[in-house]
Amino acid sequence: MKLDDFNNIDFNNAGSLPAAVKAVLLGFIFVVILALGYYFLWTDAFTSLDTAKAKEEELRKVFLDKQAQAVNLAGYKQQMVEIEKTFGALLKQLPDKSQMDGLLTDINQAGLGRGLEFELFKPGQETQAEFYAEMPISIKVLGTYHDLGAFATDISKLSRIVTLNDISVNAGKDVKSSNADAILVMEATARTYRYLDADELATKKQNEAKIKAVGKI
């Protein structure tokens, strides 16, 4: 087979071409058909295959995640039971609206029971959170260091949640002695909490819905 055999190809008389030339031409035609087939047919097929593989990998991951959750389902249920118990116990430490007066009395009695003198006991404005309300109480009491500490301990032991914040302790104006019996002045903010009843929660949701509606206008 020579180069001249390709230069002088007569396609009208292709049957008489040398076998070697026919083989080369057929090979070339086959390669062209493969290239065209890949471009027009297989490219989309390969793209679809890659997409399917990615989808399969995603579904496999979802399956493994769901399988892990199913295996640990009993543990998750037990955790939910424990969380509900803990939440219920904490909720019981929050008084309802009707019990707030009693709680304020308990705080006051805790101070009087330690021999403290109240100069200020002023409940403030309630603020509402998701399911509870918080009330700050400004207090100013006079007593010895020991009695003030015992009062703070008694507050922490109340059956309802009460916290003392922004505490400051100073010597009284007329106090010159620095002994343990000296009368000190303690100012603090006691914070009490109560849970919102059904009517309050409903009103709160309605107000939030109104605010959202106004915001969309």
Report if residue 148 sits inside a domain.
yes
In a domain, 140, yes or no: yes
Three-state DSSP class for 9? coil
Per-residue pLDDT for 213 more than 60?
A: yes
Q: Which helix (H) or strand (E) holds 141?
A: strand 132-143
pLDDT for res 177: 47
Considering the domain architecture, whether residues 67 and 105 belong to the same structural domain is answered as no
Q: Which domain holds residue 155?
A: 97-200
38 pLDDT more than 70: no
Boundary-marking domain end, from 56, 71, 86: 71
In a domain, 59, yes or no: yes
State the average pLDDT over residues 25-38.
70
Closest CA to 190 of 216, 154, 215, 144: 154
204 Cα distance to chain centroid: 22
Residue 140: CB atoms within 10 Å = 15
Give pTM, 2 decimals.
0.51
Residue 191: CB atoms within 10 Å: 16
